[in-house]
A and B are shown apart, each in its own frame.
Chain A
Amino acid sequence: MSVAVREPGAVIESEPIRSRRGIVWETIRRRPSAAIGSAILLVIVLGALLAPWLAPYDLHKQVGPVFGHPSWSHPLGLDDGGIDMVTLLMWGARVSLVVGFAATFVSMVIGGTIGVAAGYFGGKTDTTLMRITDYFLVIPDVPLMIVVAAIWGPSLFHIIIVIGILLWTSTARVIRAQVKSVRERVYVKRARSLGASHTRIVFRHVLPQVAPLLIANTVLTIAVAIFDETALAFLGLGDPSRISLGKMIENAFQRAAISTGAWYAIVPPGLLVAVIILSCSLVGGALEDALNPRLRVAHLSARSFRLRPLVGRGGEAV
């Protein structure tokens, strides 16, 4: 096609010049869902981080009867070992979050590298990498994790690796798509024609464009990773020497908390996991909406423009 004269001014004048920098921060600030999600996450992470100092009781000391009822001194009661639930929750969250973040880190590194390589080099590299991704994609996560964890043995390290190895696929796909589109941008082609090396282009031009979406994807992956860890722990495949939120649920379940009526041993950890996942989804979802141009649906809105009263001659708005 011949030349297209865009009317960029028309669009730019009607939208404020959008700074590409700090879009993550901007989104969190301006979208209520992201703000709420971030706030909740912050509280939980801080609570987990400061568990050694903030936890009201000792983690290993029995302070009352098995499944002791909630009371003023123990707002959430005691677990199957007579240990304060609030303390357990803080320490448990610690482990769950550690596994979640670590597994996500593993998946981000693998997925990001494969996504960038596939999107940037294209051709056979792309096809090969995507086929590998597809194979991993169709593997059902939880059954495989069960099998691997059962074979490999339950340790925190193994759990992290297993979860990470199965989660990278969605990251790879999202990053690949983004890299492919950035690669076609004129300024990247310009850098190539100047003779810039691939390394330079990837690190200087491609990654910065891809980073925000990578962050969004990462946050969403954390949610999945924590869920996976909880599931594994609940199925008894978690690290027996650590208490994670999933382990807490499993312990309570095994020790017949339900029939004893000790809902406070099961519900709080489950709820906490749900809240963490929800918060991550809120933040990650808001970031994705803000960043992924394909998700823009404002133009499909059913609302119409508004009318104003007539303006006097010479134009000041009423």
Chain B
Amino acid sequence: MSSNGDKPLLEVDGLVVRYPVTRGLVGAMTRQPKRSVHAVEGVTLTLQGGELLALVGESGCGKTTTAQAVLRLVDPESGSIRFEGRDITRLGTRELRPLRRQMQLVYQDPYESLDPRLRVRATVEEPLLIHGLGGSKTERAERVRQALIKAELSPPELFLDRYPHELSGGQRQRVAIAAGLVLDPRLLVADEPVSMLDVSVRAGVLGLLDGLRREGLGVLMITHDLSTAARFADRIAVMYLGRIVEEGPAREIVDNPQHPYTRALLSVVPRRDPRDRLRPQILRGETPDAVHIPAGCRFHPRCPIAIEDCKRIDPKLERPAAGRTPTHRAACIRV
């Protein structure tokens, strides 16, 4: 559970992010209405230091956009983002710069996130140079070493002079994490940190994130893999079409899912044990695109338990009747 009780590290409130869909010349001439991709439609979440929150969902649900908005890599249309109590929603590039040190992003693709021409030493040192930190060359070198050790690349001397192509996927990802840690951030956003790694090395990298969390780092992990989220996250927030439809402690969500979407998702995740025969609840069709969001509950066209009211009412996140913990919330009028 969370450690630094009082002030949350990150507070997102009612975040809305939309991308305009270009109409093109023909569209403009025929006066087609301007449309937008409703990537994020009102997301509220908090993250404490020392906590790992998994943002889970399928493609197009808005989890990546939420993460980008939190890091102020995209501009929100409305809503607020507070980092360590400070409102960062509308800050300009200049004011954001010192904050960028505190929030770091780890990318999905370890094969692409490192410059192939730079040695590990240079890659991990670069953030220090960009932000003018670390004083002398020797001080920087020491910080680089420390970052590599923290990322479990020990002894660092073995890795400092290597090029990315000489490292395995897992090692590259650790280098990317080290480059994020070198600035001593408070928040780490990991976008599918292990999905491109071999299964046998995933646990190591996830364990590293877990260890960093225990040392007080706040980790926001974006993932589509419910099994990973269940095992490594403190809390899980399930997203669908730009909204969080269910959130709560990881174990609670997995053992006692309330929202029909969460239930369906969990029911189709394959299990390791062949005897663990699923009773999969396969939803028909695919997630509608985020330009045409259904009226009422956005999930109702595919919902197995939808009723008439679901077409009109857009449910809020509330405690479900069968919820077992106070922080478990689901957005469904039927639970």
**Interface positions of A (Cβ within 8 A of B):** 1-6, 8-9, 17-21, 185-187, 190-191, 193-197, 200, 204-205, 208-209
Contact with A along B304-321 (1 / 0, CB 8 A): 000000000000000000
Residues of A within 8 A of B100 (CB): 193-195
Check if A6 sits within 8 Å of B196, measured CB to CB. yes
Do A20 and B117 have beta carbons less than 8 Å apart? yes
Chain A residues whose C-beta falls within 8 Å of the C-beta of B204 in the assembled complex: none
Assuming the contacts A3-B196, A3-B224, A5-B195, asked whether A194 and B58 have C-beta atoms less than 8 A apart, the reply is no
Chain A to chain B contacts (Cβ below 8 Å), 5 pairs: A3-B196, A8-B169, A187-B115, A193-B71, A195-B97
Q: Which of B59, B113, B196 contacts A187 (CB 8 A)?
A: B113
- For the complex of A and B, the 5 pairs showing the least CB-CB separation, nearest first, are A2-B59, A186-B112, A3-B195, A186-B113, A187-B115
CB distance from A203 to the nearest CB of B (A): 12
Contact with A along B68-79 (1 / 0, CB 8 A): 000101000000
Q: In the complex, what residues of B have CB within 8 A of residue A1's CB?
A: 59
Interface centre among B96, B109, B166 (most CB of A within 10 A): B109
Report the Cα distance A257→B163, complex, angstroms.
61
B127 at the interface (CB under 8 A from A): yes
Q: A195-B100, A196-B126, A208-B117 are in contact. List 20 more A-B contacts (CB 8 A).
A: A3-B108, A4-B196, A5-B196, A6-B196, A8-B196, A9-B169, A17-B165, A19-B165, A21-B117, A185-B112, A186-B107, A186-B113, A190-B105, A191-B130, A193-B73, A196-B130, A204-B115, A204-B118, A204-B126, A205-B117
Q: Of A2, A8, A17, A194, which one neighbours B127 at CB under 8 angstroms?
A: A194
Contacts of B111 in A (CB 8 A): 6, 8
Contacts of B113 on A, CB cut-off 8 Å?
186-187, 190
In the complex, A9 Cα to B195 Cα: how many Å?
A: 14
In the bound complex, how far is the Cα of B166 from the Cα of A248, in angstroms?
Answer: 55
Residue of B nearest to A20 (CB): B116
1/0 per position for B199-230, CB-CB distance to A under 8 A? 00000000000000000000000001000000
Is B198 engaged at the interface, CB distance under 8 Å to the other chain? yes
A3 cross-chain contacts in B, Cβ below 8 A = 108, 192, 195-196, 224
Shortest Cβ distance from residue B227 to the other chain A in the assembled complex, whole angstroms = 14
Q: Across the interface, which residues of A come within 8 angstroms of B224, CB to CB?
A: 2-3
